[in-house]
């Protein structure tokens, strides 16, 4: 089973996770920039974070045979802090980087005027740079948030087929699919969505334009949830081709719209002594 | 992490398709234009401070955007070569080099490091080399120990750079002028000996390259004939 995790925050994960993900079949991933748990207070903190997503983290992933790409953006939560808002001005120089395959995560958190501006501005940046957009749907007041998100997408210059609406569930999937956007589902141990509910959704709505991710981060989460969905799909009678479509071909097709996916990473060499990650920090 | 050799313009032209050659023509023209503009600006404001601050961080001249996109237009295998040509055409000075390094991906940083010795900047870009040597990214460490480091790193920094290569598995072939700089360096020999003893005490292998580097530190009469 080959797996592309289209949404996972590897800066928060260990090398054990990278190894387990490789063993489970993960060969590629996208790491969206997001909130770090601790709010940032200046654009410079974002720039160091973006640099890590463009430098150190792809290097770490490559040591474990996994192709690493990222999406960059000012996330909706921190868009509400005027000290962070200037990040928007610096995004154009980051969006030209080779491994940036979308603008994201953007979207709504509390649906404030500042979030309106950040979302519309960054949808336009995606359109200007020929990139897709990864759009987070809010955790609170989710259905209303989805409706508002779809309205803003419709008003933007970005066509819906270049937009992935993420963190969907039973209450939002239908409207998301009707919008023409791609549909993303984050499978979590207790919240958001689980693998059996995911299988039911795939039975109901089919496998086209559907993406499954672990969204694993610093919270309670599981970087192997993608594999567990694949196993649950097979157990429920889906074919291996169905699994490959959802776990590989769909994310490749969505992020491939950037023209920047590089999926040929060498397999890890377990005998390689001279590994600056195996050694840890000096 | 073997680095591909940097190609000259003529060699690149022979390998690139028509669209990529046209893109490179335009990119180099923009870089040359920037070089002329910078020279004229410097002549007018010879004593003024260099452009810096938040504005400089964000605004990028067109050739610097080309620098970022080089791999997508000319192929990732040629990205280092194209970026090196752009730096040379722009006659990149310290502000531009620092900007491209600080704001660059690892690949963009590597191209800066590989080109420093061909630019007229003296030792001013040493902080970039020092930054790369602080990382654990072996692509950057390998690029940092080229001719610029050989020319400008002081003895202490240079010894630690060599030791870091051995630590992180960067082949010492990457270390420019290794035999010349190591010749008769008893302090480097001591560091290598201590490192080997530490590895042996831990029951771990001593890196294969260590014996070669150690042989280079011997006094002139017994030094091996090969030059790295």
Q: Is A112 on the interface with B (CB under 8 A)?
A: no
For chain B, the domains span 1-121, 154-228
User: Residue B110's closest chain A neighbor by CA?
Assistant: A55
Q: Is A52 on the interface with B (CB under 8 A)?
A: no
Q: Where are the alpha helices (DSSP H) in A74-141?
A: 76-79, 87-94, 113-128
Tell me chain B's radius of gyration from C-alpha atoms: 20
Q: pLDDT band at residue A282, thresholds of 50, 70 and 90?
A: very low
Question: With 50 as the cut, is the pLDDT of residue B56 above it?
Answer: no
B58/A93 CB distance under 8 A: yes
Q: Are B144 and B5 in contact (CB under 8 A)?
A: no
A273 occurs within a structural domain: no
Q: In what order do the strands lie in the sheet with A133-136?
A: A3-5, A26-32, A67-72, A100-107, A133-136, A163-166, A182-186, A210-213
Give bridge partners of residue B51 from the DSSP assignment: none
Q: What is the mean pLDDT of residues A14-34?
A: 97
Determine the pLDDT at residue A272.
46
What phi and psi, each to the nearest 5 degrees, are found at residue A68? -115, 125
A21 occurs within a structural domain: yes
Determine the pLDDT at residue A131.
98
Q: pLDDT band at residue A276, thresholds of 50, 70 and 90?
A: low
Q: pLDDT tens for residues B155-187? A: 999 999 999 999 999 999 999 999 999 999 999
Structure tokens, B224:
């091996």
Which one is predicted more confidently, A214 or B219? A214
Give bridge partners of residue A166 from the DSSP assignment: A136
Give the whole-angstrom CA distance, residue B90 versus residue B67. 11
- Which of B57, B69, B137 is nearest residue A96 as measured by Cβ atoms? B69
Of the candidate ranges A109-123, A155-169, A264-278, B14-28, the one whose mean pLDDT is the lowest: A264-278
Q: Are A246 and A211 in contact (CB under 8 A)?
A: yes
Which span out of A187-196, B36-45, B123-132 was modeled with the highest average pLDDT? Answer: B123-132
B58/A89 CB distance under 8 A: yes
Give the whole-angstrom CA distance, residue A87 versus residue A92. 10
Average pLDDT value over all residues in chain B: 90
The CATH number given to whatever domain includes residue A201 is 3.20.20.140
Give the whole-angstrom CA distance, residue B51 versus residue A107. 35
Give bridge partners of residue A134 from the DSSP assignment: A164
Residue with tokens 């066509």: A159
Q: Is B137 on the interface with A (CB under 8 A)?
A: yes
Question: With 50 as the cut, is the pLDDT of residue A273 above it?
Answer: no
Q: What is the mean pLDDT of residues B66-86?
A: 96
A267 occurs within a structural domain: no
Q: Is A72 on the interface with B (CB under 8 A)?
A: no
User: Residue B166's closest chain A neighbor by CA?
Assistant: A274
Residue B44 makes CB contacts below 8 A (sequence gap 6+) with none
Determine the pLDDT at residue A195.
94
If one counts the domains in chain A, the total is: 1
Determine the pLDDT at residue B61.
87
User: Closest by alpha carbon to B111, among B171, B166, B57, B71?
Assistant: B71
Domain ranges, residue A8: 3-256
Q: Is B138 on the interface with A (CB under 8 A)?
A: yes
Q: What is the mean pLDDT of residues B60-80?
A: 94
User: Closest by alpha carbon to A237, among A206, A212, A210, A203?
Assistant: A203
Note the ipTM here.
0.85
A185 occurs within a structural domain: yes
Question: With 90 as the cut, is the pLDDT of residue A40 above it?
Answer: yes
**A124–chain B nearest CA distance, Å:** 18
Peptide bond into B106 cis (omega under 30): no
């Amino acid at each position: 089973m080959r797996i592309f995790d289209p949404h996972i925050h590897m800066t928060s994960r260990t090398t054990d996770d990278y190894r387990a993900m490789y063993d489970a079949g993960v060969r590629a991933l996208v790491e969206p920039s997001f909130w770090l748990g601790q709010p940032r207070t200046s654009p410079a903190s974002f720039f160091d974070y973006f640099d890590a997503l463009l430098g150190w983290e792809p290097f770490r992933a490559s040591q474990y045979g996994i192709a690493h790409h990222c999406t960059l953006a000012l996330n909706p939560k921190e868009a509400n802090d005027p000290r962070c808002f200037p990040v928007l001005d610096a995004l154009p120089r980051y969006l030209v980087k080779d491994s940036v395959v979308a603008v994201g995560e953007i979207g709504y958190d509390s649906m404030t005027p500042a979030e309106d501006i950040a979302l519309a501005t960054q949808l336009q940046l995606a359109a200007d740079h020929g990139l897709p957009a990864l759009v987070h749907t809010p955790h609170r007041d989710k259905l209303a948030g989805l409706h508002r998100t779809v309205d803003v997408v419709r008003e933007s210059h970005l066509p819906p087929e270049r937009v992935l609406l993420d963190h969907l569930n039973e209450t939002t999937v239908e409207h998301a699919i009707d919008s023409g956007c791609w549909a993303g589902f984050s499978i979590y141990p207790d919240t958001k969505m689980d693998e059996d509910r995911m299988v039911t959704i795939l039975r109901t709505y089919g496998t086209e334009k559907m993406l499954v991710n672990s969204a694993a981060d610093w919270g309670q989460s599981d970087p192997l949830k993608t594999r567990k969905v694949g196993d649950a799909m097979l157990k429920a009678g889906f074919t291996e081709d169905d699994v490959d479509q959802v776990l590989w071909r769909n994310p490749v097709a969505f992020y491939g719209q950037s023209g920047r996916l590089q999926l040929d990473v060498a397999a890890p060499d377990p005998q390689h002594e001279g590994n600056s990650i195996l050694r840890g920090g000096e | 992490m073997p680095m591909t050799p940097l190609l000259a313009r003529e060699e690149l032209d022979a390998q690139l398709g028509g669209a990529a050659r046209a893109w490179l023509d335009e990119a180099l023209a923009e870089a040359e234009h920037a070089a002329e503009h910078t020279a004229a600006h410097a002549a007018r404001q010879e004593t003024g401070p260099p452009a810096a601050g938040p504005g400089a961080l964000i605004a990028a001249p067109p050739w610097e955007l080309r620098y970022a996109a080089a791999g997508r237009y000319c192929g990732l295998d040629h990205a280092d070569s194209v970026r090196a040509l752009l730096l040379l055409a722009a006659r990149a000075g310290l502000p531009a080099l620092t900007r491209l390094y600080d704001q660059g991906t690892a690949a963009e940083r590597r191209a800066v490091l590989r080109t420093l010795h061909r630019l007229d900047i003296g030792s001013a870009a040493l902080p970039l080399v020092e930054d790369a040597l602080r990382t654990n990214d072996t692509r950057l460490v390998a690029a940092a120990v080229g001719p610029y480091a050989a020319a400008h790193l002081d003895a202490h920094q240079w010894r630690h750079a060599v030791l870091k290569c051995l630590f992180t598995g960067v082949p010492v072939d990457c270390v420019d002028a290794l035999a010349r700089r190591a010749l008769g360096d008893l302090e480097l020999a001591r560091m290598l000996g201590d490192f080997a003893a530490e590895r042996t005490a831990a029951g771990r292998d001593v890196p294969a390259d260590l014996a070669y580097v150690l042989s280079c530190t011997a006094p002139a009469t017994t030094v091996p004939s090969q030059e790295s």
